[in-house]
Each structure stands twice: as C-alpha cells, then as structure tokens.
Amino acid sequence: MQFIDKLLRDDYSIEQAEAIQIKYQKLINRSSKTKEITKIEHIKIIVGLDVSYYKKHNYEYGIACAVIWNLKKNKKEDHFFIQDQIKFPYKPGFLGFRECKILAKVISTLPIIPDLIMCDGHGKIHPRRFGEAVHLGVALNICSIGVAKNPFIGYSDWNEIEKFKGNKTPVWEKNPKLQSENSFNEILGYAVCLNDGLKPVFISEGYKININNAMRICLLTTKEHRQPEPLYLADYLSRKELINCY
C-alpha cells in the first residue's frame, strides 16, 4: 500500500496544515481519477477506526484500533491495535493531522487492504471539505466515510428530526432560510438516525464514495448502537485497551 507521506506528517504548523488541506482538495476537484465512485457491490471489507488517548510522563499517546468488518456477513472478523505518541495538538478542523499518522500505521498492520475505511470524524462537513475521512482516504487511496457524533459546520435541523432508523436531514453549507430560490447551497452531508430512539450521527463523503452509498453502508452496518458497529467496536475496544497503559 502506497501512502502520501505529506498527508501523514504531524509536524506542521496550523498555517502549513491548512495550506495542505487546500492543495489536496483542489487536486481532488481537478483529477477525474480521484472522482471515481466506488460501487457498493464492490465493498466487501470495511475497517472501522478510532483512537483513544492517554498521557504518560507529560507526553500524549494514542491507541488506534482497526476493526475488520465483513459487509457480506455483516459481522466483525478481527481487530488490531497500535500505540504511538500524538504530537499534533487538538484543533477543530485539523483532526487528520493529529490522527491520520497513527491510523495509517494500524491499517498497515492489517492482513488485508480494506475496500472502505470508516472514520469517527467528519469528511466533507469541513470548512475546506477536507475532514479526517477525506484526509485519510486521500493519503491511503482508499474509499472512506466520515461518521461524526457531533455537528461541526453547516446548518441543519438535526435536533428536530424524529428518532427512527433511517430518518435524515441535510447539513447545508449556508442557512437555507436565508437563501433565495435560485442561489446555490451545497449539501455537505446528512444527520442520520441509525437506530430508533438514538440521536443522529453526521455522515459525509470521505473519498471515492457518494453520500447515498455512505448512508446506505452506515445503515447496513448499524445494529443496536448509535454508531455503525465497526466504529462502535473500534471506540469500545480502544478504550478498553487503555487499561493496559496504566
């Protein structure tokens, strides 16, 4: 698997990181190859990813968990961990520079290259349309989806939708109540209830996938939790592994 090393560095300034996001988003828009959409029938192996953090001797570390999920059987096949120091500070809009390095490392340990990676973070719902799911997908050239638990940018009436599985509402770039009929207003993603009685998550395109397929995959892989099962398990198992760090 070939990585784009520039996207997996964690030693940039915020200004440098922002410039890289803008550069690679422009490359995505220009290249017909990066616009190829993965067909859902070609997706067999999904990897759900998450990172849990701990501090030791004044340094911050992360435990990345990759859960291998067989979409055809709709069940977990295996999971893998890796630990590493986290150097990039937490700053909204730059999660990819904080986590993509360790996430790429755990993916490199897998016995199989996934058809799709699912990130616990935003994709296109991002000021520069380059959230963590886009960032990691481009860096690894793997189809990706962003599934975040909290809203970030955009306008949505997500807190008003009825909490039934499959209910959704768009996340708009601009406030639709202030837009004229003929003005363009981009849909960045959707707030989607993946289970009855539970709050929606925020689903957006990452890399080489469209929003309809992204939502369909999330609904297919959700069982009894708020998140799709590959992500829920990556979060649960990475936090459980923290016990071994103290």
Closest CA to 135 of 102, 168, 173: 102
Query: 54 has which bridge partners?
Result: 61
> If pLDDT is split at 50, 70 and 90, which confidence band does 178 have?
confident
**pLDDT tens digits along 9-35:** 999 999 999 999 999 999 988 876 666
- Predicted local distance difference test score (pLDDT) of residue 36: 73
The separation between CA 192 and the C-alpha centre of its own chain, rounded to angstroms, equals: 15
pLDDT at 203 over 80: yes
Cα–Cα distance for residue pair 34/137, rounded to 1 Å: 10
Cα–Cα distance for residue pair 44/230, rounded to 1 Å: 13
From residue 7, alpha-carbon distances to 23, 132, 200 in Å are 11, 11, 30
Q: Which two tokens stand for residue 102?
A: 């360790």
**pLDDT tens digits along 112-163:** 999 999 999 999 999 999 999 999 999 999 999 999 999 999 999 999 999 9
Q: Based on the structure, what is the number of domains in the chain?
A: 1
pLDDT at 177 over 90: no
Q: 29 φ, ψ to 5°? A: -65, -30
- Predicted local distance difference test score (pLDDT) of residue 33: 60
pLDDT at 246 over 70: no
Cα–Cα distance for residue pair 218/212, rounded to 1 Å: 10
Q: Which two tokens stand for residue 220?
A: 């297919």
- Calculate the dihedral angle through the C-alpha atoms of 174, 130, 201, 98, rounding to the nearest 10 degrees: -130
Closest CA to 117 of 79, 146, 84: 146
Number of Cβ within a 10 Å radius of residue 28: 17
- Predicted local distance difference test score (pLDDT) of residue 34: 62
User: What is the domain-level CATH number for residue 190?
Assistant: 3.30.2170.10
- Predicted local distance difference test score (pLDDT) of residue 32: 60
52 lies in which domain range?
5-29+38-245
Cα–Cα distance for residue pair 109/29, rounded to 1 Å: 31
From residue 79, alpha-carbon distances to 20, 48, 204 in Å are 31, 9, 24
Helix (H, G, I), strand (E, B) or coil at 169: strand
Terminal-residue alpha carbon distance, the chain: 34
